[in-house]
Amino acid sequence: MRRHHHRCQIGSDSETGSDSDTDTDTAMRCISCREEYLPRDAGTCKECYVEAGETEEELKREIDDLKAKVAFLRLSSSLDHCNSSNSRSFTDVVLIASEDNAGAPPIPAHKSVLVSRSPVFKAMLENEMEESRSGTIKISDVSYDALRTFVYYLYTAEACLDEQMACDLLVMSEKYQVKHLKSYCERFLVTKLSWDNSLMTYAFAHQHNAKHVLDAALSQITENMEKLTKREEYMELVEKDPRLIVEIYEAYLSNQVNTAAGGTSTSKSG
Amino acid sequence: MRRHHHRCQIGSDSETGSDSDTDTDTAMRCISCREEYLPRDAGTCKECYVEAGETEEELKREIDDLKAKVAFLRLSSSLDHCNSSNSRSFTDVVLIASEDNAGAPPIPAHKSVLVSRSPVFKAMLENEMEESRSGTIKISDVSYDALRTFVYYLYTAEACLDEQMACDLLVMSEKYQVKHLKSYCERFLVTKLSWDNSLMTYAFAHQHNAKHVLDAALSQITENMEKLTKREEYMELVEKDPRLIVEIYEAYLSNQVNTAAGGTSTSKSG
């Protein structure tokens, strides 16, 4: 926007200004993006810019340090492809996915790792229960692939997720109380949320106590209430678990009341 | 510096300027530090400031995620104080500091962790050497305290360092090829470097192949050459290991030549 002002110094470039009558405003050049800008779009002074750069460098160094720490702490497991059958890995327990046919290979593991990662495994293995004596842990309702991915996560904090795997791992992490994994799966499922899968996801989250997913799914649903009763899942849920539907309506009502009262809407899960 | 310019718009605050004859330059207010500044001290535009803030937030979130990962991956060891003697920890090997009197308690550990962290332990334990069969690893030339701190680090990537401990752990990390620990100790020792300890540190770094410490010590020495020959350590080293002294002089000479030639000085370790 042009104003009738006389030209002033431009940035640090010109030390010799001249008092000429022009229509242009003072323009400066941004150190960061190199574009010209006017005083009204000014951001920071040079000192603050330099400081921000140093802060960013410090944070990046901290990230590198932490990544090196993670690389150090992850453990070799029987599932690492580089483990030849010659190298001993000192495993002292096996896990078996009993959903698969009798043919699913047992997964060798270390009791010390299992008890470190899961209070459920800890109780199971430290208290001389059957699994500890036999050296075999049978895991029900899980595929071999899901179990293997779960065990690998316990050793490395890494997992390749798709929606099915995230659901399978969330169930296992809830069952064996592995918070870090559950949190990881929840965050993944929230990114995959859409109106189409929101009812199903909501029911799933409810069943497995996944609050982060549940809240997100509820938000998605209450933003699309006009389409709700036409969904097949809706009618199924009204039959099978009407309390869940009641909670949806409660959240919706709560939003309406809050909005009318001028407050912010908060979806509360029951 | 005052110039004879007419006042222009000040930041985004004033939209109505007036063409009055004044001696003041345009002043803007930094979004970050809230101080006034002149165009010649301008930093960034507002857009870049906002972007930098978002980048900083992203980096901080990444740091939080990595910290949670580290917390997940660290392992309980026999050295954790919360381990009661009732809880089994499935250890399958013990380490003994044989420098101490026969009285130093053995340190229970897990072969799986040792082989994960050290290629030397890996070779020792996977190849049916004596230690693997007996379940006992004797570590020479180390105190119980140092050994315990070393083992704890293998489980957690954590250690409280003072200069003595950093030296002890560096020796062990070199011997057992634990790169992450060696790097940690080296960085610590560099922060403790001074003229007074530089010769001793230099000799130590040489003996244990600690390049990062060695380079830093050498820099410290060559910046203080005029005081060198008066040091007691100097005369001892000339006696015991004159090659180290030769390398100091070589580095010093190299600096002098480079400086004379107008290049940057680089201390090369031999």
pLDDT digits (tens, 9 = 90+) for B208-234: 999 999 999 999 999 999 999 999 999
| Mean residue pLDDT across chain A | 85
User: Which pLDDT value is given to residue B5?
Assistant: 41
User: Which pLDDT value is given to residue B102?
Assistant: 64
Tell me the range of A3-12, B57-66, B257-266 where mean pLDDT is highest. B57-66
Tell me the range of A76-85, B2-11, B186-195 where mean pLDDT is highest. B186-195
User: Which pLDDT value is given to residue A39?
Assistant: 86
Tokens 């000014």 appear where?
A: A42
Task: Note the Cα A160 to chain centre separation in Å.
Answer: 13
Average pLDDT over residues B147-163: 95
Average pLDDT over residues A34-63: 91
Give Dmax (Cα) for chain B.
Answer: 94
Alpha carbon distance A72, A58 (integer Å): 21
Nearest in space to B32 (alpha carbons), one of A55, A49, A33: A49
DSSP state of B12: T
pLDDT at position B137 over 90: yes
Average pLDDT over residues A231-245: 93
Put simply, the answer to whether B49 touches A47 (Cβ < 8 Å) is: no
pLDDT at position A245 over 50: yes
Alpha carbon distance B53, B159 (integer Å): 33
pLDDT-derived band at A6 (thresholds 50, 70, 90) equals: very low
User: Which pLDDT value is given to residue A269?
Assistant: 46
Instruction: Check CB contact of A74 with chain B, cutoff 8 Å.
Output: yes
Instruction: Check CB contact of B129 with chain A, cutoff 8 Å.
Output: no
- Shortest Cα–Cα distance, B263 to chain A (Å): 27
Put simply, the answer to whether B44 touches A56 (Cβ < 8 Å) is: no
* Residue A234 near residue A246, CB atoms below 8 Å: no
Average pLDDT over residues A75-96: 74
pLDDT at position B262 over 50: yes
Radius of gyration over every alpha carbon of chain B, rounded to an integer in angstroms: 29
Alpha carbon distance A33, A25 (integer Å): 20
* Residue A240 near residue A226, CB atoms below 8 Å: no
Question: Which range (A24-38, A176-190, B10-24) has the least confidence?
Answer: B10-24
pLDDT at position A14 over 80: no
Number of Cα atoms under 13 Å in the Cβ half of residue B59 = 18
Residue A56's closest chain B neighbor by CA? B56
Residue A36's closest chain B neighbor by CA? B45
- Shortest Cα–Cα distance, A159 to chain B (Å): 13
User: Which pLDDT value is given to residue B25?
Assistant: 62
**At a CB cut-off of 8 Å and minimum separation 6, what does A150 contact?**
A142, A168, A169, A172, A173, A181
- Shortest Cα–Cα distance, A172 to chain B (Å): 16
Position with higher pLDDT, A2 vs A204: A204
- For residue A179 the two structure tokens come to 């918070």
pLDDT at position B21 over 60: no
Task: For residue range B72-81, list pLDDT tens digits in order.
Answer: 998 887 877 5
Question: Which range (A237-251, B125-139, B195-209) has the least confidence?
Answer: B125-139
Residue type, position A51, single letter: E
Tell me the range of A87-91, A112-116, A130-134 where mean pLDDT is highest. A112-116
Beta strand segments in chain A, E: 28-29, 36-37, 42-45, 93-97, 107-109, 136-139
Q: Which of A6, A67, A90 sits opposite B112 (nearest CB)?
A: A90
Average pLDDT over residues A173-193: 96
| Mean residue pLDDT across chain B | 85
Instruction: Check CB contact of A257 with chain B, cutoff 8 Å.
Output: no
- For residue B153 the two structure tokens come to 């680090």
pLDDT at position B250 over 60: yes
User: Which pLDDT value is given to residue B110?
Assistant: 94
pLDDT at position B147 over 50: yes
Average pLDDT over residues A230-254: 93
Residue B66's closest chain A neighbor by CA? A66
pLDDT-derived band at B23 (thresholds 50, 70, 90) equals: very low
pLDDT-derived band at A27 (thresholds 50, 70, 90) equals: confident
Put simply, the answer to whether B9 touches A10 (Cβ < 8 Å) is: no
- For residue B265 the two structure tokens come to 């000085």
Burial of A75 by CB count in 10 Å (0-12 exposed, 13-18 middle, 19+ buried)? buried
User: Which pLDDT value is given to residue A25?
Assistant: 61
pLDDT at position B265 over 60: no
User: Which pLDDT value is given to residue B8?
Assistant: 39
Alpha carbon distance B135, B125 (integer Å): 9
pLDDT at position B248 over 50: yes
Alpha carbon distance A63, B260 (integer Å): 40
- Nearest 5°: phi and psi at B93? -160, 155
User: Which pLDDT value is given to residue B88?
Assistant: 61
User: Which pLDDT value is given to residue A82?
Assistant: 52
B39-B45-B50-B54 Cα dihedral, nearest 10 degrees: -100
User: Which pLDDT value is given to residue B122?
Assistant: 92
Instruction: Check CB contact of A123 with chain B, cutoff 8 Å.
Output: no
Question: Which range (A63-67, A90-94, B27-31, B65-69) has the least confidence?
Answer: B27-31
Tell me the range of A27-31, A215-219, B51-55 where mean pLDDT is highest. A215-219
pLDDT at position A132 over 90: no
User: Which pLDDT value is given to residue A81?
Assistant: 59
